[in-house]
Amino acid sequence: MGRSYFVDEAVEKYLGGLLAADPGSCVTGLLAGQSSPQRDFVVLAVQTPQRESEGQLKSSRGSGPLDDIDVEWVTEHARQVSRMLPGGLCILGLFLVTPPELSKDAQNTLKRLIFAMDKCISKGRLWELTEEDVNDRVTLHICSKTKKTVCKTLDVKDPKSSSKPADWKYQTCVSSSWPMLTCSVEVDLQIPLTGSSSDNTDKCMKDCLKRWAKQIEAGNCLISGRQALDDSELISGQKKNLKTTHRQTFPARILVSDEQPELDERSSALVQLCSGSMRVRGVVHCRAYIHNNKPKARHAVQAIKRDIINTVSSRVEMFLEDLLISEGSRKGLCTGQQALPRRVFAPMPFSGLSVCDYMFPDESTADVADRLKEMLDWETPEEDIDISLESNQLFSPELEMTDSHSDDSSKHVSEVQVENPHIHKAPQYYAGVVVAATIALLATATSLLYFSE
Amino acid sequence: MVYSEECAIIFRLKGILEFACQLDNPNAGSQSQSTISKSFQGLRSKVSSKHIVFTVCNSPILIWPNTGFRSSVESLTEASACGDILQYIESDDGGSKKTLKKKDKKRSGHTVVNLKLLFEVTDPAGNEAPSLIRVDTQQHCVKMPLHLDCVLSVTTDESLTSVCTGLVETLRKQLADMEEVVQRYRKGSSFLVPQPFHFQLPEPAGLTTVIYPAGVPDSQLQAIREDLHRKFELPSDRPYLRRANAYHFPDAAYKDGYLRNPHIHLNPPNIEDAKLYLVQGVYIYHHYMQDRVDDDGWGCAYRSLQTICSWFQQQGYVETAVPTHTQIQQALVDVGDKEPRFVGSRQWIGSIEVQVVLNQLLGVTSKILFVSQGSELATKGRELANHFQTEGTPVMIGGGVLAHTILGVAWSENSGQIRFLILDPHYTGGEDLQTITDKGWCGWKGPEFWDQNAYYNLCLPQRPKTI
């Protein structure tokens, strides 16, 4: 029995538009939405953006347009878009439009792309997959002439398995009444830097973030003031009103404890000689959506927790990537305080959900709008971009909590940018690609080798 | 052991706080001291902040103690009595304990409510997006988890608010005490982890918490204990504050599987005018076939000796484990009392050997009491009563062909009537309290229990006069 994909009608319209635009070529793109154990929901489709240096690609060794597909480019696009998706949503798969003569090779291409993409996306992940997570990814092949669609799924945990057929059904307003969970999380991580090389810096940061991610995963979560116990449903005791367009918002609260199992058995403190230390401090605004087909509270909890972890790790990753480009080396990480990119929200194409983006301190909403156009193939008016959820003021570095019982003493915040020689940025995407290319080249090359039987 | 009748609930709050600080130069005394102080101050602020949450274990209750009292259960408000919490707690003991539970409740007199300390990371004061702050000076980064463990004894009608406020205050005080221990025992960049221990001291001190540095044995903490004995006006000749003396919470199971103090489940004998003189403190019931040693028929005195050794260990006089049969035999060879081939044999030992081994392995002296006829034991009421009153140690008695342990006497000074509380090492079954008490393996016996014609030796171990 295959999986069922319930797809928003707006996606159908978008795909139809692609077919009409350029009948002879191959088009790749992403499909995004939410998986649940019973069924999957697709709410977004985005074609892979054109690569600027296309002239160079004509001299590839491939014998046709399918081989011309730049796997690296597609996966990098997927990686960047997945950073833009709030909790609960992820890249579910890929679509491929081909002219009729290439249809027979389409499945192979899709398989290559799916595995490469999954590898790329899961690399920086700080949380663990559970047994309830769906490992199937959807591939949609559309023949540009006949408009025939073939929908299959691939199990990314089992490269040797063959694809299985799946159902692709269009529906209206798939996500219009999906509940949304929100929270603002205060982050304060102290990262001692052991060793002197810059590689070590990365490892120290990653280890620290991993430990923090585990704390969040293990924490208690309250949704609208109640704990999610066992198998309870998120919305219990309420009549499901299918016609409603009102989206419910559930505030979430996360409670953690400072477990340190690796330090527990020691009778003395762990002391390390460090060449320095880093501190990540601030408030992140988080959002997650859950489908409204009798969702379980624990899935909603998982979605918001993953969003918390993702948003912090994405920002740190982006900051370091950006530094690598602009300064040429990690030594450019100067002392003092530097702002990490802040999260802004915009409406998602077609649906009423939101997507997010990260804005560097010297960027404006115009830059964000450009990026959204490029990555999501969608015009977003600047006034629709919500930049109010995270402020661009910085915590004062000298701020120490006073030893008093009242904690709402006014905090002194400064707006000063400290020592941040930031070059005016080209759109984030390209910068990211260069880094990703150098880092991920080996990975994709390996996967290509693996699949070219 | 007298439990005050008014204290009905013990609230026990446990949690972990990470202590972290950066020292530029660990050997610069005052600078490091103030850095460490600042870190602890930060932790104290943290527990006073509105972000701390108490969760009541095995219940859906969550309490925010520092935000004008907020709880996740609507019917629990500021004014609620803390006893109201009990109805929300699911108990997690198995069915097999049911028959004894009532008696246990009577003995222990305390209900323990366990809470865990959590921190809320949502609902922050501001919304400043994150920034990265980097410091490039060479530093020693110190990290250790502080296992906080706070107790508060209250009556059931105490308000929940005051319990929570009390717990927060206790947390702050514990952090201050921990800071003191950390600073005192720090050598350069070596920090010892401070560990809390709870002790049930005589009133008015009651349940008291002391912080000891991990890794420092009791023997090196003598001076600290002397100070505390003075402070709490405790007798200076018996230990109250060694780690082994720590209070055993009624709801905590012993991990080693042995039974302790089975005698507390017995009803005392009904003799007019008689007073009870019982063993003081905690001992472990050792008997035949335990620890997979088949000593059926020959090991009774060894087992009685093990029970006595366990008493000295449980009261904190020694830190060594209870000796095995082989170790007991080896000790006797070592002092020259037996030939080397004694080790590994199944030879019996008597009270004298018990006295020798207690001295050799534990440094404990014992008095020997001799009675030429079993019938005479009935006249030894005063001596035994005195022993249990002053020393309070279990007594090994050997004679005829049997050895037993005497745990106490019920004796009437007027009528001379006497009963003996006997712990019988000849029991070969498992650690089943029901069987042991029902069948009299631990039970009250009359003077006719002894072989009226045989002679008996009693070994009465003496408490070392130390704290």
Q: A96 is written with which tokens? A: 């491929």
Which residues of chain B neighbour A256 with C-beta distances below 8 Å?
A: 118-119, 121
A190 with B135: Cβ contact below 8 A = no
Q: Is A431 exposed, middle or buried (0-12, 13-18, 19+ CB in 10 A)?
A: middle
B22 with A334: Cβ contact below 8 A = no
- Higher confidence at residue A204 or residue B462? B462
Average pLDDT on A73-89 reads: 94
Give the span between the Cα atoms of B433 and B453, in whole angstroms. Answer: 33
Which residues of chain B neighbour A281 with C-beta distances below 8 Å?
A: 130-131, 133
Task: Give the pLDDT band (50/70/90) at residue B61.
Answer: confident
CA-nearest residue to B48 within chain A is: A405
Among the partner residues B72, B137, B190, nearest to A268 by beta-carbon distance? B190
Contact B65, B166 (CB under 8 A): no
Check pLDDT > 60 for residue A58: no
For helices A428-451 and A365-376, the axis angle rounded to 10 degrees is 20
Which residues of chain B neighbour A335 with C-beta distances below 8 Å?
A: 134-136
In this prediction, what percent of chain B has a pLDDT beyond 70?
94
What pLDDT score was predicted for residue A336? Answer: 82
Task: Give the pLDDT band (50/70/90) at residue B242.
Answer: very high
B127 with A405: Cβ contact below 8 A = no
Check pLDDT > 90 for residue B349: yes
Which residues between 177 and 236 in chain B have a beta carbon less than 8 angstroms from any beta carbon of chain A?
189-193, 214-215
The alpha-carbon gap from A408 to the nearest alpha carbon of chain B, in Å, equals: 7
Calculate the average pLDDT of chain A: 80
In this prediction, what percent of chain A has a pLDDT beyond 90?
38
Q: What pLDDT, in 10s, does the model give residues A71-80?
A: 899 999 999 9
Catalytic entry in B21, B164, B300, B309: B300
Task: Give the pLDDT band (50/70/90) at residue A396.
Answer: low
Give the span between the Cα atoms of A29 and A141, in whole angstroms. Answer: 11
What pLDDT score was predicted for residue B100? Answer: 41
The ipTM, to two decimals, is: 0.79
Q: Which of B116, B115, B114, B108 is nearest to B8 (CA)?
A: B108
A1 touches chain B (CB under 8 A): no
Q: What pLDDT, in 10s, does the model give residues A369-379?
A: 999 999 999 88
Check pLDDT > 90 for residue B358: yes
The residue behind tokens 């990211």 is A432
- Three-class HEC string of A84-151: HCCECCEEEEEEEEECHHHHHHHHHHHHHHHHHHHHHHHCCCCCCCCCCCCCEEEEEEEECCCCCEEE
Check pLDDT > 70 for residue A293: yes
Q: What pLDDT, in 10s, does the model give residues B246-259?
A: 998 888 878 888 99
Q: Is B227 exposed, middle or buried (0-12, 13-18, 19+ CB in 10 A)?
A: exposed
Chain B interface, best mutation among A403, A410, A416, by max B CB count within 10 A: A403
Concatenated DSSP letters of B56-123: ETTSS-EEETTSS-EESSTT--TTSBGGGGGGGPPP---GGGHHHHHHHHHHH--EEEEEEEEEE-BS
B129 with A392: Cβ contact below 8 A = yes
Catalytic residue flag (residue B426): yes
Q: Which of A115, A123, A110, A136 is nearest to A79 (CA)?
A: A123
Contact B329, B342 (CB under 8 A): yes
Task: Give the pLDDT band (50/70/90) at residue B124.
Answer: confident
Check pLDDT > 70 for residue B243: yes
Which residues between 328 and 367 in chain A have a beta carbon less than 8 angstroms from any beta carbon of chain B?
333-343
Check pLDDT > 80 for residue B360: yes
A266 with B193: Cβ contact below 8 A = yes
Check pLDDT > 80 for residue A84: yes
Check pLDDT > 60 for residue A426: no
Instruction: Sort strands A4-8 and A167-171 into parallel, antiparallel or unpaired.
Output: parallel
Contact B213, B181 (CB under 8 A): yes
CA-nearest residue to A405 within chain B is: B48
- Cβ neighbors of B114 (< 8 A, separation 6 or more) are B12, B14, B56, B57, B58, B251
Give the span between the Cα atoms of A103 and A274, in whole angstroms. Answer: 58
What pLDDT score was predicted for residue A245? Answer: 60
What 3-state DSSP class applies to A355? strand
Among the partner residues B130, B138, B143, nearest to A284 by beta-carbon distance? B130
Q: What pLDDT, in 10s, does the model give residues A334-370?
A: 778 888 999 999 998 888 899 999 999 889 999 999 9
Check pLDDT > 50 for residue A421: no
Q: What pLDDT, in 10s, does the model give residues A114-154?
A: 999 999 998 888 888 888 889 999 999 998 888 888 999 99
Task: Give the pLDDT band (50/70/90) at residue B148.
Answer: very high
Q: What pLDDT, in 10s, does the model give residues B286-309?
A: 999 999 999 999 999 999 999 999
Which residues of chain A neighbour B128 with C-beta distances below 8 Å?
A: 282-283, 390-391, 393-395, 413
The overall pTM is greater than 0.90 = no
Residue B70 pairs with which residues in a beta bridge? B64
Q: Which stretch, A122-126, A276-280, B439-443, has highest mean pLDDT?
A: B439-443
Task: Give the pLDDT band (50/70/90) at residue B327.
Answer: very high
Q: What pLDDT, in 10s, does the model give residues B366-389?
A: 999 999 999 999 999 999 999 999
Check pLDDT > 60 for residue B3: no
What is the number of CB-based contacts under 8 A between chain A and chain B? 233
Total length of chain A: 453
Which residues of chain B neighbour A345 with C-beta distances below 8 Å?
A: none
Distances (CA, A) of B139 to A194, A397, B28: 10, 18, 13
What 3-state DSSP class applies to B43? helix
Q: Which of A41, A5, A23, A20 is nearest to A350 (CA)?
A: A41
Among the partner residues B48, B123, B190, nearest to A253 by beta-carbon distance? B123
What pLDDT score was predicted for residue B168? Answer: 95
Distances (CA, A) of B408 to B272, B277, B366, B461: 17, 5, 17, 14
Give the span between the Cα atoms of A40 and A92, in whole angstroms. Answer: 9
Contact B17, B174 (CB under 8 A): no
Contact A362, A422 (CB under 8 A): yes
CA-nearest residue to A331 within chain B is: B136
Q: Which stretch, A44-53, B92-101, B352-361, has highest mean pLDDT?
A: B352-361
Contact B467, B226 (CB under 8 A): yes
Check pLDDT > 50 for residue A400: no
Which residues of chain B neighbour A190 with C-beta distances below 8 Å?
A: 20
A338 with B132: Cβ contact below 8 A = yes
Q: Which of A80, A162, A157 is nearest to A119 (CA)?
A: A157
Which residues of chain B neighbour A275 with C-beta distances below 8 Å?
A: 136, 138
In this prediction, what percent of chain B has a pLDDT beyond 90?
69
- Cβ neighbors of B205 (< 8 A, separation 6 or more) are B232
Catalytic residue flag (residue B229): no
Which residues of chain B neighbour A273 with C-beta distances below 8 Å?
A: 138-141
Catalytic residue flag (residue B141): no
B29 touches chain A (CB under 8 A): no
The alpha-carbon gap from A181 to the nearest alpha carbon of chain B, in Å, equals: 13
Amino acid at B457: N
Contact B221, B205 (CB under 8 A): no
Q: B18 is written with which tokens? A: 């990470």
